[in-house]
Every structure is written in C-alpha cells, then in structure tokens.
C-alpha cells in the first residue's frame, strides 16, 4: 500500500515535468516580459496589441491637450482654479513635461525593465543558480526515498504551482501598468504630478515585490536540490506571502525617480517666480 502511494505521487510529479521546469527557468520573462508571453505561442505572434497601444497613446495625448486648455482657461480667465499669480511659463512647462514623458514613455519603461532585470539576474548569480534546473527529476528522486519524502515533494510541487500562477498574475499586473502609463502622464499637468506620482510608485512596488519573490523562489529550489524539503516548503510559502509581507513597508503615496525630479524643479521655478514678484511689489511700495 505504501509503495503504491509512493509510486502514485512519483507519477504525479513526473507528469508535470515540462511545465514546471520551463516555467521556473523562465521567471524573468514571465514577470517582466508578460506582453510577449501573452501574445506569442512557440515564438509565433497570435495576438497583436499595437493598435491598442496607439489608441491609448492618442487618447492620452488628447486628454493632455484638453486638460491644458481647460485648466489654463480656469486659472487665467475665470480664476476659479489654482492660483492666478502662477506664471504662465510655469504652467506651460507642466504641459511640456507631460508631452515629453508621454512621448518617451515606451523608452523609459524599457530602460526601467532592463535595469530591474539586470539587477535581478545579478542577484540570482550571487546564489550560483543555474540557468536551467531539472526540478521535477530531483523531486522524483527525493520522493523515491519513502512515503514521507513523497508527500513532502507533492506539497512542494503544489505550492510551486500556486507560486507559478502568482508570478503570471504579477507579470500581467506589470503589463497592465505599462499599458496605462500614457494615461498616467495626464496627471503631470498638475503641479504635484497628479496620479503620475502614485502610478510610478505602484510600478516600482510591483517590480520590487516580483524581485523578492523570484529570489525566495530560487532559494527554495536550491533547498530542494540540497534535499531540504521542509525548508524549501517554508521558503516557497514565504515567496507566496511576499506581497503581504512587503505591504507594511510600502504604504504611502511617495513617488520616486524622474517624477520627483520634475516636480521638484517645477515647484522651485514656481516659488522663485512668486518670490521675485513679491519683492518687486515691495520695492514699488517703498
């Protein structure tokens, strides 16, 4: 009976050989290049998203222009929004930065992904992780040691499958954020960057979460190959719980990167203009 159960578990593990191995040897592409994974099968494009990208880009450009005209009319003609003494040049700079970031959105995103992937790959190299790992073969060998090892191997396999699905979800989330990036640029018309600041923050958080999950996952696989199934299961569970674990340290709407630089520079220019006008008014009074 024990041998029958053991053989059954070994058969189940061996039956998912191709899927598990290919998935966990290709985590970087699943998470950071989800667009290719979703639209290609065996290297052949089955879905084209170019028209959708053009539509979103055109819509975002139209929104930026319309918001610039409306906001400028409300500030300088109706005096119903913002501060009328804000220099028109500063307001134009807000418009220009929104257009520039929109036009460079694809290039900026590709650079960001390249940097994150390079960092993640260097991080994995510090663990001496092989580019290709025959995971199921090793788990079958461990399962053959006895019923307990077989059960532990099956639990580890189930958790790996759950983690795999979570990686696909994270990759799709980052892909959706990429699609919506042009729309987030509309917020740059505002002095504080509007929704753009929070959007960039969300993108960075998603990428950081994925990197930590990949690190924990690869460490778990190393533990599997060293025969420490209990510790491997614990590390896989940690990888699954990573988003919840990091959530406590990622609350808040602070942005980062280029958006902070742009917003700070714009604020500084606006403040200096207001100070210079106040000084001129004081001189006239004297």
Cβ 5 vs Cβ 147: under 8 Å: yes
Query: For residues 254 and 193, which has the higher predicted lDDT (pLDDT)?
Result: 193
Look at residue 52 and tell me if it is in a domain: yes
Find the helix packing angle between 2-15 and 135-143, rounded to 10°: 180
Query: For residues 52 and 140, which has the higher predicted lDDT (pLDDT)?
Result: 52
Query: For residues 154 and 254, which has the higher predicted lDDT (pLDDT)?
Result: 154
pLDDT confidence of 45, banded at 50, 70, 90?
Answer: confident
Q: What is the pLDDT, as a whole number, of residue 157?
A: 86
Q: What is the pLDDT, as a whole number, of residue 143?
A: 76
Cβ 113 vs Cβ 189: under 8 Å: no
Q: Which two tokens stand for residue 279?
A: 């000084």
Look at residue 278 and tell me if it is in a domain: no
Contacts of 177 (CB under 8 A, 6+ apart): 199, 202, 203, 206
Q: Compute CA distances 209 → 31, 117, 161, 180, 196, whole Å.
A: 11, 13, 18, 19, 20
According to DSSP H, which parts of the chain are helical?
2-15, 17-24, 27-32, 34-39, 50-73, 88-103, 105-125, 135-143, 147-184, 195-225, 229-240, 242-247, 258-285
Element (H, E) at 40: strand 40-41
Predicted confidence (pLDDT) at residue 38 exceeds the cutoff of 80: no
Look at residue 284 and tell me if it is in a domain: no
Find the helix packing angle between 2-15 and 147-184, rounded to 10°: 30
Predicted confidence (pLDDT) at residue 3 exceeds the cutoff of 70: no
Q: Of 37-51, 85-99, 171-185, 234-248, where does mean pLDDT reach its minimum? A: 37-51
Question: Using CB atoms within 10 A of its CB, is residue 157 exposed (0-12), middle (13-18) or buried (19+)?
Answer: buried
Predicted confidence (pLDDT) at residue 202 exceeds the cutoff of 80: yes
Q: Could you give the CA distance from residue 259 to residue 253 in angstroms, rounded to a whole number?
A: 13
- Average pLDDT on 99-124 reads 86
User: For the chain, how many structural domains are there in total?
Assistant: 1
Q: What is the pLDDT, as a whole number, of residue 59?
A: 92
3-state secondary structure of 132: coil
Q: Could you give the CA distance from residue 177 to residue 200 in angstroms, rounded to a whole number?
A: 9
pLDDT (tens digit, 9 = 90+) per residue, 160-185?
888 888 898 888 888 888 888 899 88
- Average pLDDT on 278-285 reads 54
Predicted confidence (pLDDT) at residue 259 exceeds the cutoff of 50: no
Which residues constitute the domain of residue 95? 2-273
Q: What is the pLDDT, as a whole number, of residue 42?
A: 62
Predicted confidence (pLDDT) at residue 204 exceeds the cutoff of 60: yes
Q: Compute CA distances 208 → 160, 243, 249, 260, whole Å.
A: 20, 10, 12, 19
Q: What is the pLDDT, as a whole number, of residue 284?
A: 56
Q: Could you give the CA distance from residue 209 to residue 150 in angstroms, rounded to a whole number?
A: 31
Q: What is the pLDDT, as a whole number, of residue 265?
A: 46
Look at residue 13 and tell me if it is in a domain: yes
User: Which residues is 44 bridged to in the sheet?
Assistant: 41
Q: Could you give the CA distance from residue 213 to residue 216 in angstroms, rounded to a whole number?
A: 5
Predicted confidence (pLDDT) at residue 124 exceeds the cutoff of 60: yes
Predicted confidence (pLDDT) at residue 232 exceeds the cutoff of 80: yes
**Residue of 46, 26, 69 whose CA lies nearest to 171:** 26
Residue with the two structure tokens 């804000």: 86
Angle at 176 between CA 201 and CA 247, to 5 degrees: 40
Query: For residues 91 and 257, which has the higher predicted lDDT (pLDDT)?
Result: 91
- The total of other beta-carbon atoms located within 10 Å of residue 237's CB is 15
Look at residue 77 and tell me if it is in a domain: yes
pLDDT confidence of 58, banded at 50, 70, 90?
Answer: very high
Element (H, E) at 45: strand 44-45
């Amino acid at each position: 009976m024990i041998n029958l159960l053991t053989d059954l578990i070994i058969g189940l593990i061996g039956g998912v050989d191709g899927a598990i191995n290919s998935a966990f040897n290709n985590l970087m592409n699943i998470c950071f290049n989800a667009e290719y994974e979703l639209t290609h099968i065996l290297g052949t494009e089955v879905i084209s998203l170019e028209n959708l990208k053009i539509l979103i880009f055109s819509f975002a450009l139209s929104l930026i222009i319309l918001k610039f005209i409306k906001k400028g009319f409300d500030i300088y003609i109706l005096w119903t929004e913002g501060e009328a003494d804000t220099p028109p040049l500063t307001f134009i700079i807000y418009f220009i930065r929104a257009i520039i970031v929109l036009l460079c959105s694809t290039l900026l995103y590709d650079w960001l992904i390249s940097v994150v992937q390079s960092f993640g790959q260097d991080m994995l190299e510090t663990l001496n992780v092989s580019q290709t790992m025959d995971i199921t073969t090793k788990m079958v060998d461990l399962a053959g040691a006895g019923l307990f090892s077989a059960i532990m191997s099956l639990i580890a396999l189930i958790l790996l499958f759950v983690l795999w699905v979570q990686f696909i979800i994270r990759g799709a989330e980052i892909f959706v954020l990429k699609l919506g990036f042009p729309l987030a640029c509309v917020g740059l018309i505002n002095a504080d960057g509007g929704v753009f600041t929070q959007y960039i923050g969300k993108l960075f958080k998603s990428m950081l979460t994925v990197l930590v999950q990949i690190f924990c996952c690869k460490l778990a696989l190393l533990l599997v190959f060293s025969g420490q199934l209990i510790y491997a299961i614990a590390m896989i569970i940690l990888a699954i719980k990573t988003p919840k674990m990091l959530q406590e340290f990622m609350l808040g709407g602070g942005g980062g990167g280029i958006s902070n630089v742009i917003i700070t520079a714009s604020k500084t220019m606006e403040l200096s203009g207001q100070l210079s006008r106040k000084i001129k008014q004081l001189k006239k009074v004297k």
